[in-house]
Structure 1
Amino acid sequence: MNQEERNALRGAVQLWRRTLENDIEEQIGALYGIRRPTGATAGKGKKAAGDSDPLAELVVLAVADVPRVAQSRRLQERRRIILTAIEDSARRRMASAGEKFDSGQVKPLVLDFEAYLRACAFTVLNRLAGIKLLEARGHYLPSLTGSEDAPAAKFFRSVAGPSLPAGEDPYMLFVDLLMADVSTQVPSLRDASGRYDLVKPDKASVLALGESMEALGEVVWKSDETLGWIYQYFTPEELRKRVRKESPTPRSSDELAFRNQFFTPQYVVRFLVQNTLGRMWLEMHADTHLADTWEFLVRDETTPRPFKDPRNLRVIDPACGSGHFLLYAFEVLHDIYSEVYEHAELGQGLRAEFPDRYEFFARLPELIIERNLYGVDIDRRVAQVTQVALYLKALGYDRKARPMRGNIVHAQQLPGNAAEFGAFVAAEFTDHPRREFIQQALSHVHKEFLHADELGIMLKTSDTIEQLTRRTPLWNETQLLPDVLAALDAYAEHAADAGEVRAFMFGDDSRQALRLLELMSLEYDVVLMNPPFGAAARDSKGTFEKLYPRTKNDLYAAFVERGLNLLVPRGRLGCLSSRTGFFLKSFTKWREEILLGEGHLEVVADLGYGVLDKAMVEVAAYVVEKQ
Structure 2
Amino acid sequence: MFTPSYHDGVIKDLIDDVSVDDFNVDVGGQVEIIGWLYQYYNTEPKDRAFKKKKYSESDIPAVTQLFTPDWIVKYMVENSLGRYWINVLQAKGNKSSEADVAKQFNWKYFMPSAEQQSEEYINIQSNSKLQNTKPEDLTLIDPAMGSGHVLVYSFEVLMDIYESEGYSKREAATNILEKNLYGLDIDTRAFQLSYFALMMKGRQYNRRILNNDLKLNVYDIPELSEDSVDSFISHLPSNVEPTFSNLLKHYENGNEYGSLIKFDNVIDWEVVNPEVNNTSENQQMTFDDVDSIKNTGQLQDAINVSKLLTSKFTIGITNPPYMGSGKMDQVLSKYVKKYFKEGKADLFGAFMQRMAQLVEENGYYAMVTQHSWMFLSSFEDLRKELKNNALINMAHLGTRAFEEIGGEVVQSTAFVYQNTKVTNYVGTYERLIDFPSQQKKETAFLEAVNNPKSKYLYRTNQANFEKIPGMPIAYWASDELLNLYGSTETVEDVADVKKGSFTGDNSRFLRLWPEVSFSKVKFNCEDVTESIKSHKKWFPYNKGGSFRKWYGNHDYLINWFNDAAELKNFPKFGLRNPQYIFQEGLTWSSLSSGNPSFRYSENGFVFDSKGPMIFSKNLPYLLSLLNSVISTYILNILSPTLDYNPTAIRKIPYLFNRQFEKVIFKLSTDNILISKNDYNSNEWSWDFLRLPLLIHIADENLSLPNKILVELTNCAKIVAIYSQWREI
Q: TM-score range by the shorter chain?
A: 0.5 to 0.7
| Aligned residue number for residue 296 of structure 2 | 507
Deviations 1:311-369 (A, max 9, x none): 121101111111111111111111112222x3xxxxxxxxxxxxxx6xx5323212111
Q: Say which of 54, 60, 69 aligns to 1:256.
A: 60
TM alignment of 1:478-497, pairs within 5 A: 478=270, 480-481=272-273, 484=276
Are the aligned partners of 2:140 and 2:314 in contact in 1 as well (CA < 8 Å)? yes
Q: Say which of 593, 596, 601 aligns to 2:391.
A: 601
Deviations 1:397-431 (A, max 9, x none): 12221263211121233344366416876xxxxxx
Task: Calculate percent identity across the aligned residue pairs.
Answer: 25
Deviations 1:18-67 (A, max 9, x none): xxxxxxxxxxxxxxxxxxxxxxxxxxxxxxxxxxxxxxxxxxxxxxxxxx
| Aligned residue number for residue 414 of structure 2 | 621
Q: How many residues get paired?
A: 377
Tell me, in whole angstroms, the C-alpha distance in 1 between the residues paired with 2:230 and 2:102.
56
Q: CA deviation at 1:546?
A: 0.9
Structure 2 counterpart SS, 1:460: coil
Q: Which amino acid aligns with 1:559?
A: F
Structure 1 counterpart SS, 2:366: strand
Q: Which amino acid aligns with 2:207?
A: R
| Aligned residue number for residue 319 of structure 1 | 144
User: Cα–Cα, structure 1 residues 372 and 418, in superposed 2: closer, same or farther, change >3 Å?
Assistant: closer
Structure 2 counterpart SS, 1:449: helix
Q: Which amino acid aligns with 2:392?
A: E
| Aligned residue number for residue 224 of structure 1 | 30
Structure 2 counterpart SS, 1:405: coil
Deviations 1:437-494 (A, max 9, x none): 445533332323333211112121113xx2xx4xxxx31xx3843862798xx97778
Q: CA RMSD in A?
A: 3.1
Structure 2 counterpart SS, 1:573: strand
Are the aligned partners of 2:49 and 2:63 in contact in 1 as well (CA < 8 Å)? no
TM-score norm. by structure 2 comes to 0.48
Are the aligned partners of 1:448 and 1:462 in contact in 2 as well (CA < 8 Å)? no
Q: CA deviation at 1:590?
A: 1.5
Are the aligned partners of 2:365 and 2:418 in contact in 1 as well (CA < 8 Å)? yes
Are the aligned partners of 1:318 and 1:457 in contact in 2 as well (CA < 8 Å)? yes
Tell me, in whole angstroms, the C-alpha distance in 1 between the residues paired with 2:274 and 2:416.
34
Q: CA deviation at 1:609?
A: 1.6
| Aligned residue number for residue 381 of structure 1 | 189
Does residue 1:447 correspond to 2:249, yes or no? yes
User: Cα–Cα, structure 1 residues 578 and 309, in superposed 2: closer, same or farther, change >3 Å?
Assistant: same
| Aligned residue number for residue 346 of structure 2 | 554
Q: CA deviation at 1:310?
A: 1.6
Deviations 1:557-613 (A, max 9, x none): 11111111111111111110111111222221122222x1x3111111111122223
User: Cα–Cα, structure 1 residues 479 and 291, in superposed 2: closer, same or farther, change >3 Å?
Assistant: farther
Q: CA deviation at 1:615?
A: 2.5
Q: CA deviation at 1:394?
A: 0.7
Q: Say which of 44, 49, 60 aligns to 1:243.
A: 49
Show structure 1 runs of 5+ residues with no match: 1-201, 343-356, 426-434
Tell me, in whole angstroms, the C-alpha distance in 2 between the residues paired with 1:230 and 1:606.
28
Tell me, in whole angstroms, the C-alpha distance in 2 between the residues paired with 1:370 and 1:405.
7
Q: CA deviation at 1:513?
A: 1.8
- Which fold has the larger relative contact order, with Cα–Cα distance below 8 Å and residues 6 or more apart in sequence? 1
Tell me, in whole angstroms, the C-alpha distance in 2 between the residues paired with 1:213 and 1:392.
25
| Aligned residue number for residue 318 of structure 2 | 529
Tell me, in whole angstroms, the C-alpha distance in 1 between the residues paired with 2:229 and 2:192.
29
Tell me, in whole angstroms, the C-alpha distance in 2 between the residues paired with 1:311 and 1:589.
37
Are the aligned partners of 1:325 and 1:528 in contact in 2 as well (CA < 8 Å)? yes
TM alignment of 1:302-317, pairs within 5 A: 303=122, 304-305=125-126, 306-307=130-131, 308-317=133-142
Are the aligned partners of 2:76 and 2:317 in contact in 1 as well (CA < 8 Å)? yes
User: Cα–Cα, structure 1 residues 386 and 418, in superposed 2: closer, same or farther, change >3 Å?
Assistant: closer
| Aligned residue number for residue 716 of structure 2 | none
Does residue 1:413 correspond to 2:206, yes or no? no
Deviations 1:261-284 (A, max 9, x none): 211111111111111111111111
Are the aligned partners of 1:485 and 1:511 in contact in 2 as well (CA < 8 Å)? no
User: Cα–Cα, structure 1 residues 608 and 486, in superposed 2: closer, same or farther, change >3 Å?
Assistant: farther
| Aligned residue number for residue 23 of structure 1 | none
TM-score norm. by structure 1 comes to 0.55
Higher helix content, 1 or 2: 1
Tell me, in whole angstroms, the C-alpha distance in 2 between the residues paired with 1:480 and 1:371.
22
| Aligned residue number for residue 174 of structure 2 | 366
Are the aligned partners of 2:229 and 2:249 in contact in 1 as well (CA < 8 Å)? no
Tell me, in whole angstroms, the C-alpha distance in 1 between the residues paired with 2:163 and 2:197.
22
Are the aligned partners of 1:551 and 1:558 in contact in 2 as well (CA < 8 Å)? yes
